[in-house]
Amino acid sequence: MLITDNPYPLDGPGVDAAPESPGVYSLHLRDEVMFFGVAKENLRETLRAHYEEERGRLDRRAALTGFAYECPLDPDRRRRQLVFQFVAQYGQLPKLNARTREGART
């Protein structure tokens, strides 16, 4: 199962609700999953960095709008599972994973 159901808004209060623990997360542009990532130490701080980057984006139509997360025992393994499930369902990597070496290795 993907962690994409009912994403939190990618805003200050949404990010503040995330735990300060390792985890795996998805970033969304409206209803579309754009990226799966891993927070090695602090999920809240990782998401805050994404939020700050999106706040500075000039084209607000392209700004990420939401996120979802899990805190599994092995976030790297879970991320690989999520990417595999996404590719099996949609036939391609999420758009932002496809642009990174990290996504291409998965």
pLDDT over 90 (residue 56)? no
The whole-number pLDDT of residue 45 equals 97
Q: What is the pLDDT of residue 101?
A: 56
In eight-state DSSP terms, residue 30 is T
pTM for this entry: 0.87
* pLDDT given for residue 36 in this prediction: 96
- Per the structure block, which two tokens stand in for 39? 């927070």
Confidence check: pLDDT of 57 > 90: no
Interval 1-50: pLDDT, tens: 567 678 999 999 999 999 999 999 999 998 899 999 999 999 999 999 99
Domain ranges of the chain: 8-105
Tokens of 49: 């960095």
- For the record, the structure tokens of 35 come out as 């990226």
Q: Secondary structure of the chain: what % helix, strand, coil (to 5)?
A: 45, 20, 35
Q: What is the CATH T-level fold of the domain 8-105, as seen in this structure?
A: GIY-YIG endonuclease (3.40.1440)
Whether 33 and 96 have beta carbons less than 8 Å apart is answered as no
Q: What angle do CA 23, 83, 18 make, to 5 degrees?
A: 25
